[in-house]
Amino acid sequence: MISLQSYLIISAVVFILGILTILYKKNAVGILMGVELILNSVNLNFLAFSKYIDAHINGQLVAIFIIILAASEAAVALAIILNLYRDRANIDVTQVDQMKN
């Protein structure tokens, strides 16, 4: 029998890896990947709770909305990244700090 905790551990590990990706990479697309990892780990949590605790499948429904939001987020983020690239010829987020000061 696979326990709830094992799913939660997988989810936590992927979440931490997603955070690491966001903090470690300078590339905007890389950061976007990290965000996707985090969203997936959250989804996994929802599904696990839906399976083990909830009598109904509310967790799955929330997960569907999260997938939709993730898709929207990716589309907008990529549009912004493309604009940024067109403007500056690279997508290094550490150099995007015009609004400082």
Partner 1 sequence: MEAKELLFLFIAIVTIASAGLVAFSNKLIHSAFALMATFVGFAALYVFLSADFLAVTQIVVYVGGILILILFGVMMTHRIYDTTLKTIHNPLAMGIISAAALAVILGLVIYRSPWAATVDKPFVPTTSIIGAEILTNYLLPFELVSVLLLGVLIGAVFLARTEEHKK
Partner 2 sequence: MIQTALIIWLLPLAAFVINIFIGKRLPRKGDWVSTGAIGVSFLLSYYMLFQILGNYNPDFALQASVPWIDLGETFKLNMGIYLDNLAVIMTVVVTTVSFLVHVYSIGYMHGEPLYNRFYAYLSLFSFSMLGLIMWDNLFGIYIMWELVGICSYLLIGYYFEKDSAANAGKKAFITNRVGDFGFLIGLLIVFTALGTFNLSDIHQGVSQGQLSGGLLTAAGVLLFAGAIGKSAQFPLHVWLPDAMEGPTPVSALIHAATMVAAGVYLMARLSFMLSLDAMLVVAYVGGFTAIFAATIAITQNDIKRVLAYSTISQLGYMIMAMGVGSYTAGFFHLTTHAMFKAGLFLGSGSVIHAVHHAMDKTGSHGDPNDIRNMGGFKDKMPVTYITFVIFSLALSGIPFFSGFLSKDAILGGTLAFAMSQSNPIHYLLPVFGFGAAFITAFYMFRLIIKTFLGQPQKPELYEHVHESPKVMTVPLMVLAALSIWFIYTLPSVNPMGAAGGWFMHLIRQPISAVAAQLGHPVYIITEHAEHAAHVNGIIISIILAFGGILLAFAFYFWKKVDVEALTEKIKPLYNLSLNKYYFDEIYQATVINGLLAWNNLLKWFDENIIDFIVNFSAKVVRVFSAFDGKFDNLVIDGMVNAVADMTLQFGRGFKKLQTGQIQYYIMGALLGTFLIIIFTLI
| Binders of partner 2 in range 1-20 (CB under 8 A) | 19
Give the angle subtended at the CA of 42 by the CAs of 23 and 73, to the nearest 5°. Answer: 65
* Contacted entry of partner 1, partner 2, none for residue 66, CB cut-off 5 to 8 Å set by kind: none
Interatomic CA distance for residues 31 and 55, integer angstroms: 36
CB neighbourhood size of 15 (10 A): 18
82 lies in the binding site for partner 1 (CB under 8 A): yes
Q: Does 99 bind partner 1 (CB under 8 A)?
A: no
The site for partner 2 (CB under 8 A) is made up of: 19, 22-23, 31, 93-94, 96-101
